[in-house]
Amino acid sequence: MKGSLHKALDHPAAWWLCFAAGFAAFAASLSSDGTYDLENYHFYNGFAAFHDRTGLDIAPGELQTTLFYGLDAVYYLIFRSLNDRPVLINILLSVPYSVAALAIFLLARLFAKPGFLWPALISAAAAVFGLTGASNLATLATTESELVPGLAILIALAVWLTLEKVQRNTFWTALGSGGLAGVSVGLKLTQAPLFIGMLVAVAIRSVIGKRSALLEAIGFAAGGLIAFAALDGAWLWGNFKNYGNPIFPYMNNVFHSDLVAPDAWTDRRFLPKTAATALFYPAHWAFSSSNEVSELSMRDPRILLGCISALVIVLGFAWRWLRNRTAPPIGSIESLGFLLAVAFLVSYALWEKVWSIYRYLAIQEALSGVLVLAALPIILLGGRGKPWLMSGLFALLMISFMRMTEYPWWRRVPRGPQAISVQLPPLEHDAMVLFLDPQPYSFLVPSMPISARAIGVNNNLVHPGSSGRLWDIIEAAVRDHKGALWGIEDPINSPGVADSSLGSLRLGRDQCAPLTTNMEAGEHGKICKLRRTPTP
């Protein structure tokens, strides 16, 4: 009986049920998603995916209006179908976390056995540690979570390393793993650094004795490219056809769409300012509260711990290679740890170079506990013969670092009868609604008449007098519009911006009313009937 119970508790399915119940219970205790990204573009882009708004709306979700809509379409269906059951929405959005926990659990088992006491418990602890970081836990049950688009690449990594352990990786398994990883990149381009990190890890085995490694790397890259093209091909072509840039407005310094300025259009606020800062960047937010890589203050040592562990693994691998004049065998724990460390370090370096936005490290953060498991035997000089010491030290590290975490709790709406509640005044079917300042308003569009036109006139993509033809197109659309005109603004958070927008378009306000919604835009926002003013 005792043996059967132990076997059941050691089974991955039993742990997945534990993970699912834990994350679901925690998600159910949270308020609904009220994040800026949901208001600004996730909900609208999903709506637009089902109701072609091309040629009707103009930048209602700012520059994010043109981002890939695949995952947003899923979010839109969930929120639209279950809007009256916000707790159920939260529980549903927690499911990817339990799947991620199982993938991390299976990865951790590669390193927790042999050498640690109670390998299943240690592996579960590594999963919990990785998924309770400042990036992952703070975005649980929100559309802002980077774990959701990154889940496929996490599963791909777990499958690939598991097959590597039994030396069953081939060109075809690499093709499949690459395809799965490519799904994540297709869902969100922020996952590209980890895809490249995995590709380097696949290829680098040619140096350590895997003759087919380069062929497998080609298969991995091909699988990723096929998956990416299948997911994003129509979107890329649509952007190119409509805007002259397949990833509009990003990299417009390369594609040169004449709608906006020929800039890269990347957010560079969080990039390290000096080489010294870049070298020790994870330490900047590991032990003290910081907003160097996040809009909200946060503190989390997981990435620093992951970087240190990965460096220890790589140096330990190199030392053993030099000492024995041969690399550890393919499929050994040392080799698996080396490949995981390479993927982590390469992806982290690319992240720091391109974005340095902490949320985009969700998968790397999730892997931090697994990297510690792989590094501890090297730190303890062959500590796999000391299971009590290894397990005790691992538990001490996990508990200590979890207590250090300071979460950037993104905005959530107070618990109410609906996840998204919007009440607008009666709008005419031929209405044009202008978003007059950079506050997030596009989530309002699905509550408007389907024929109403929404235009963002002063935001991070276009504003009065901005370079390119887009402002001229907006001016002409407003000038030639024959129906009703409405404007939405937030004079408290964007003082004077709406006045500038209206003046540039030669419009004025008539009667105004408060914007009624449970989202943040409703706190100080108002909607006004607009009228044309005489041309001076």
* Boundary-marking domain end, from 404, 434, 467: 404
Residue span of the structural domain in which 304 resides: 2-30+85-404
Shared domain for 430 and 398, answered yes or no, is no
182 shares a domain with 92: yes
Q: What is the pLDDT of residue 534?
A: 82
Could you give the residue ranges of the DSSP H alpha helices within 359-413? 362-366, 368-379, 387-404
Q: Which of 358, 378, 404 is the last residue of a domain?
A: 404
Position 1 confidence tier, pLDDT thresholds 50, 70, 90: very low
Residue 469: inside a domain: yes
251 and 194, same structural domain? Answer: yes
* pLDDT score of 115: 80
For the segment 77-109, what is each residue's pLDDT rounded down to a tens digit? 999 999 999 999 999 999 999 999 999 999 999
What string of DSSP letters covers 184-235? Answer: HHHH-GGGHHHHHHHHHHHHHTTTTT-TTHHHHHHHHHHHHHHHHHHHHHHH
Say if residue 125 is in the same domain as residue 261.
yes
Alpha helices for 302-433 (secondary structure H): 302-324, 333-354, 362-366, 368-379, 387-404
Is 70 exceeded by the pLDDT of residue 384?
Answer: no
- Is the same domain home to 10 and 103? yes
Residue 200, pLDDT above cutoff 60: yes
- Considering its fold, how many domains does the chain have in total? 2
Answer whether residue 35 is part of any domain. no
CA–CA separation, 156 and 18 (whole Å): 22
Indicate the residue among 376, 404, 432 that finishes a domain. Answer: 404
Among residues of the chain, what percentage have pLDDT more than 90?
A: 93
| pLDDT tens readout for residues 288-305 | 999 999 999 999 999 999
Domain annotation covers residue 313:
yes
pLDDT at residue 264 in the model: 95
DSSP 444: G
pLDDT digits over 399-410, tens only? 999 999 999 999
Average pLDDT over residues 442-465: 97
Verify that 518 and 457 share a domain, yes or no.
yes
| 458-511: pLDDT as tens digits | 999 999 999 999 999 999 999 999 999 999 999 999 999 999 999 999 999 999
Contacts 24+ apart (CB under 8 A), 397-402: 397/305, 397/372, 398/125, 398/126, 398/129, 398/369, 398/372, 401/129, 401/301, 401/302, 401/305, 402/129, 402/132
Q: Which two tokens stand for residue 68?
A: 């890939």
- Residues 309 and 430 occupy one common structural domain: no
Evaluate if pTM is beyond 0.85.
yes
Sheet holding 485-489, edge to edge: 453-456, 432-435, 485-489, 526-532, 507-514
